[in-house]
Amino acid sequence: MSQTLNIFRREIASYFATPVAYVFIVIFLLLMGWFSWGFGRLFESGQADLYGPFFNFHPWLYLFLVPAISMRLWAEERKSGTIELLLTLPVSMLQAVIGKFLAAWAFCGLALALTFPVWISVNYLGEPDNGVILAGYVGSFLMAGGFLAIGSCISATTRNQVVAFILTVVVCFAFLLFGLSGVIDFFRGWAPAALVDALAGLSFSTHFDAIAKGVLDLRDILFFLLVIAFWLAANAIVIDLKKAD
């Protein structure tokens, strides 16, 4: 546990050692603000409700921003050769994987938390259902974790950060896509129903939507936790495999 914590600290510190983290947060906040207040017309909607004009955009923002965080997690270590050093430390593979992941997740959480003015704004303008907003934030954080775990595992498969970024976007996009009714309908035409239903059940957007509506269903929460656990375990296996290369 303490080793995981050490890795976590080292990673977090490394984020803020360069301007990259600040640039990321600034871009994230600018986009989030513009999507909600400009494109999503939150003020003009006249409703103190964040479900539509704010949380709706989270999956699509994460699709590009989370891979940008995750791409360097392992690819950089592999390229610069520090991965060997890391693995010679008295740290288990899983501890390293979890520590790095938690640091990236906490960083995402910080970026998400910095959107707090939107919460203050709707509370200033009207009387929003704060329970629903809280659920939206919980769902968004869990979804970010899911995306990050995928990105972390993919980052371990390559030395090239750009390749890691693109592959992560593609895989995450697939996980989002299956939640869209249009896509599901397209598959319903020819694919076996059981498969289509199963794929729809794997979609991030359906589980996120269910949470953002205001209900913390254990099944939705466990879905994200299982996704995270699965991809992190795969991450450890991939690093172990790559060690052989």
Partner 1 sequence: MSQQAKRNYGAGALLILAVLFVALLFVVSLVFRGARFDLTENNLYSVSQGTRNILASIDEPLNLYLYFSDSVSKDVPGLTPYRDYSRRVRDTLTEFASYAGGNLNLQVIDPLPFSEAEDAASAAGLTGFPANSAGDTFFFGLVATNAVEGRETVAFFDPNKEAFLEYDLAKLIYNLNQVRKPVIGVMSTLPINRGFDPATRQMREPWIVLQQAEQLFEVRQVAPTVNSIDPEIDVLAVVHPKDLTDATTYAIDQFVLRGGKLAVFVDPQAEMDIPADAQTNPQAAMFAERSSDLSKLLETWGVAYDAKQVVLDRTYGLQVSAGPGRRPVRHVGILSIDTAGMNGDDVTLAELTTINVSQSGHLAKKPDAEVEFESLLTTSEDSMSVSSDRVRFMTDPSSLLDGFAPTGQNYTLAARVRGTFSSAFPDGAPPAEPVEGEEPAAPPTAEHLAAATEPNDILVVADTDILSDRLWAQAQSFLGQRLISAFANNGDFIINSLDNLTGSSDLISIRGRATSQRPFTRVQELQRQAEARYQATEQQLEQQLQETERKLTELQAGRDDNNPLILTPEQQTELARFQDERLRIRQELRQVQSNLRGDIESLGTWLKVINIGLVPLLVTLFALTIAWRRARRREEANR
The binder of partner 1 chosen from 12, 135, 144, 148 (CB under 8 A): 135
- Residues 13-32: x where in contact with partner 1 by CB under 8 A, - otherwise, as a string: ---x--x--x--xx--xx--
Q: How many residues bind partner 1 (CB under 8 A)?
A: 62
Task: Select from 67-75, 84-92, 131-139, 163-171 the region that touches partner 1 (CB under 8 A).
Answer: 131-139
Tell me how far, at minimum, the Cβ of 223 lies from partner 1, in Å: 7
Q: Is the dihedral of CA 64, 77, 74, 104 positive or negative?
A: negative
Does position 128 interact with partner 1 (CB under 8 A)? The reply is: yes
- φ/ψ of residue 176, rounded to 5: -80, -40
Q: What three-state secondary structure class fits 160?
A: coil
* Neighbouring residues of 156: CB distance < 8 A, sequence distance ≥ 6: 73, 74, 75, 78, 235, 238, 239, 242
CA–chain centroid gap for 65, Å, is 8
Q: What is the CA radius of gyration of the chain?
A: 19
Does position 238 interact with partner 1 (CB under 8 A)? The reply is: yes
Q: Which is nearer to partner 1, 8 or 231 (CB)?
A: 231
Distances (CA, A) of 34 to 28, 42, 77, 172: 10, 10, 34, 23
The binder of partner 1 chosen from 37, 57, 64, 141 (CB under 8 A): 37
C-alpha dihedral over 44, 46, 48, 51, to 10 degrees? Answer: -60
Question: Cα–Cα distance between 181 and 159 in angstroms, integer?
Answer: 36
- Residues 192-231: x where in contact with partner 1 by CB under 8 A, - otherwise, as a string: -x----x--xx----------xxxxxxx--xx--x---x-
Tell me how far, at minimum, the Cβ of 226 lies from partner 1, in Å: 6
Task: Select from 57-65, 66-74, 101-109, 126-134 the region that touches partner 1 (CB under 8 A).
Answer: 126-134
Token digits for 95? Answer: 């501890």
Q: Which is nearer to partner 1, 81 or 131 (CB)?
A: 131
Tell me how far, at minimum, the Cβ of 181 lies from partner 1, in Å: 5
